[in-house]
Copies of this chain bind each other. A is one copy, B any other.
Amino acid sequence: MSYVIEEILESLREARIRKGYSQRELSARTGIPQSHISKIESGSVDVRVSSLIVIARVLDTELFLIPKKLVPALTSIVRSHSDTEYDNRQISPAYTLDEHLDD
């Protein structure tokens, strides 16, 4: 299985989880059998593009074809908007009402 398809399938699964859908629910929303969705996610079938698109749409995602030279820029954007990775830098309030609180 190619790296690209692995990436796409992983993104799909992540998107499904993020929406809180089970395979059954995704099945109901797409009309694609749960058993087949399982195979698709596991990469055990060479899915047709129409199936991919139907699933993508239900998961609020979209399939794109982009020039390779733009890949770094895009991954950067996607990464920065990712919900799985979050900003945990410490910020200091400009002032506090409760000056004795520890960090």
Size of A's binding interface in residues, CB under 8 A: 34
A66 touches B70 (CB 8 A): no
For residue A65, CB closer than 8 A to chain B, the reply is yes
A53 touches B11 (CB 8 A): no
A84 → chain B closest CB, angstroms = 12
A70 → chain B closest CB, angstroms = 6
Given contacts A5-B50, A48-B47, contact A64 B67 (CB under 8 A): no
For residue A99, CB closer than 8 A to chain B, the reply is no
A68 touches B60 (CB 8 A): yes
Q: Could you say which residues of chain B place their CB within 8 Å of the CB of A56?
A: 4, 65
A62 touches B66 (CB 8 A): yes
